[in-house]
Amino acid sequence: MVNLLQMLELKLNETFSVLLQPFSLRYLLLLAIFLILFYRWSSSYTKSSSVPPSPPKLPVIGNLHQLGLLPHHSLQTLAQRYGPDLMLLHFGSRPVLIVSSTEAVSEIFKNHDLTFSDKPKYIFVEKLMYNYKDILTAPYGDYWRQVRSLCVLNLLSNKRVRSFRAVRQEETKLMMSNIEQSCSTETCSSSSSSSVLNLSEMFMKLTNDVICRVAMGRKYSDREEGRGRMFMELSTELSDLFTKVNIGDYIPWLAWFTRVNGLDAKLDDLAKRMDAFIDMVIQEHMDKSNNGNDGDDNEDKKDLVDVLLSVQKENALGSPIDRVSVKAIILDIFVGGTDTTSTALEWVMSELLRNPGVMKKLQNEVRGIVGNKKNVTEEDLVGMPYLKAVTKENFRLHPPAPLLLPRMCNKDVKIKGYDIKANTQVMINAWALGRDPKSYTNPEQFKPERFLNSTIDYKGNNFELMPFGTGRRGCPGIQFATVLEELVLANIVHKFDWALPHGAKEDDLDMTETAGTTACRKYPLKAIATLF
């Protein structure tokens, strides 16, 4: 073995000595000159052609190395230097168009929405989301139109959202009761002696419980109970895997690497266990229906699984929605509704704690309208313009999905004079749009007043504020998400005053984000409540 290592060392020394000879150095110099000339030629070709501007890329990985830990931040910085409207990057072999201005977004969705209505394919989506049978990732076409129509008309209509009012209010009251218990009558007069609350955890539990009750008819947040523990484990693993990068999606010839590092096996195992859990939920609902307890006489008591099974049974769309489709839609509702709403709540409370003047103004509005009532109801929310302005300002600075969900261009098209090739992935930097000084004065400041006399909304009609996307593939659950956020926020500022723990000042609050599809706080939000 020693002799073998010595021979290897000798061979390496010989190799390097050859490379360092003058003859070899001349070849290395010629190679370097060739690479420089090639780079300049390719750069001049890019500039002279009508493709969007691009930063230099590396072989094989393209621009992946320039994304950083928080891609929406990195992409904003790159766009400011290379393409403030449109910028073309390459993630491995995949071309990706970065859209960073309201003008470019407007041209895309006003004139070419159909062209940009498809979705790129990813390995983890194929495995976890039932091979693109869900609403969020299904290819644009007849099937997507059918399931989208099913959701808009049956699952997320105004009438259906209103039917879940009792669930939202019950779960909000329960959270309020838990906060009040932490602020006992002996300690509530002094914030220094009150319990420190983990608001991030509380918001996540609340939204989990609401979504589970609305979608599946019961809560699954009890870690001690078997099914609850199973559900919480699945939820945690699902969130973790959504932050992973599958290198095979961007460099296909390296797809084998995910088999070596175990990611493929983790995806397959999670998909299998998630499918078994959803199967169990569906079977419970079918058994209940077969026993004559389907609730047909009271539409308001149906959960979303009941509605889906009813539509499947009646074949209401003229074409069968099979069991796999039902499972994919259930998973969509949970994935799309939990993280985004809890994230919005933790960010808005973070901003209120950092801006006590805004907090006080919001409390005055809510308390002035609600008075001595114990709880804020959804009817009370209608007369709260400052609450809605606070919600908009939070979405502007902290869109839950800062890069939205990527789309794909399905044919060659020209945008702002640039040629965009078919199959180019498109990413809209909603985070950068909300911080564009062309659209907003002092964009880094949390100032809800900017929306008080403004017609701008977040429903996809105004491209400078689009946390839920826009066009055909915009999020259909806007109303469901926002009414819960407003209800929770109004209640917690109505009943309690809030402060940071341990006498911390507003500027001490760490606002660092995590990497991932949803931009959560890196560190849990902790605060102290005192009864008003």
CATH number at residue 370: 1.10.630.10
Domain assignment present for residue 369? The answer is yes
pLDDT at 298: 63
- Is residue 500's pLDDT more than 50? yes
Residue of higher predicted confidence among 226 and 532: 532
Of the chain, the percentage scoring pLDDT greater than 90 comes to 59
User: Do 44 and 184 have their domain in common?
Assistant: no
pTM score = 0.86
Helix residue ranges per DSSP H, 49-86: 71-82
Domain assignment present for residue 247? The answer is yes
d(CA 487, CA 495): 13
User: Do 24 and 148 have their domain in common?
Assistant: no
Domain assignment present for residue 301? The answer is yes
User: Do 22 and 102 have their domain in common?
Assistant: no
Per-residue pLDDT reduced to its tens digit, 214-226: 999 888 877 656 6
d(CA 226, CA 205): 17
User: Do 129 and 240 have their domain in common?
Assistant: yes
Pairing type for strands 418-420 and 413-415 reads antiparallel
Pairing type for strands 94-99 and 425-428 reads parallel
Residue with tokens 């070709």, as numbered in its chain: 45
Domain assignment present for residue 351? The answer is yes
User: Do 137 and 281 have their domain in common?
Assistant: yes
With the C-alpha atoms ordered 457, 462, 464, 469, is the resulting torsion angle positive or negative? Answer: positive
Mean pLDDT of 94-122: 95
d(CA 202, CA 207): 9
Mutual angle of helices 263-290 and 323-354, in 10-degree steps: 110
User: Do 358 and 434 have their domain in common?
Assistant: yes
Question: Lowest-pLDDT range, 67-81, 82-96, 303-317?
Answer: 303-317
**Residues in the chain, how many?**
532
Domain assignment present for residue 407? The answer is yes
User: Do 209 and 311 have their domain in common?
Assistant: yes
Per-residue pLDDT reduced to its tens digit, 366-391: 999 999 898 999 999 999 999 999 99
Tell me which residue range forms the domain holding 19: 2-48
Domain assignment present for residue 346? The answer is yes
- Is residue 100's pLDDT more than 80? yes
pLDDT at 15: 34
Question: Lowest-pLDDT range, 36-50, 110-124, 326-340, 430-444?
Answer: 36-50
User: Do 131 and 192 have their domain in common?
Assistant: yes
User: Do 71 and 27 have their domain in common?
Assistant: no
H-helix or E-strand spanning residue 160: helix 158-163
Please give the tally of structural domains in the chain: 2
Domain assignment present for residue 435? The answer is yes
Using pLDDT thresholds of 50, 70 and 90, give the confidence band for residue 138: very high
User: Do 38 and 75 have their domain in common?
Assistant: no
Domain assignment present for residue 509? The answer is yes
H-helix or E-strand spanning residue 447: none
d(CA 487, CA 505): 27
pLDDT at 206: 94
- Is residue 9's pLDDT more than 80? no
Question: Lowest-pLDDT range, 285-299, 458-472, 504-518?
Answer: 285-299
- Is residue 16's pLDDT more than 70? no
Helix and strand element counts for the chain (H, E):
18, 9
User: Do 248 and 343 have their domain in common?
Assistant: yes
Both tokens of residue 296? 């047909």
- Is residue 92's pLDDT more than 90? yes
- Is residue 14's pLDDT more than 80? no
User: Do 388 and 438 have their domain in common?
Assistant: yes
Report CA-CA distances (Å) from 405 to 105, 279, 518: 14, 27, 10
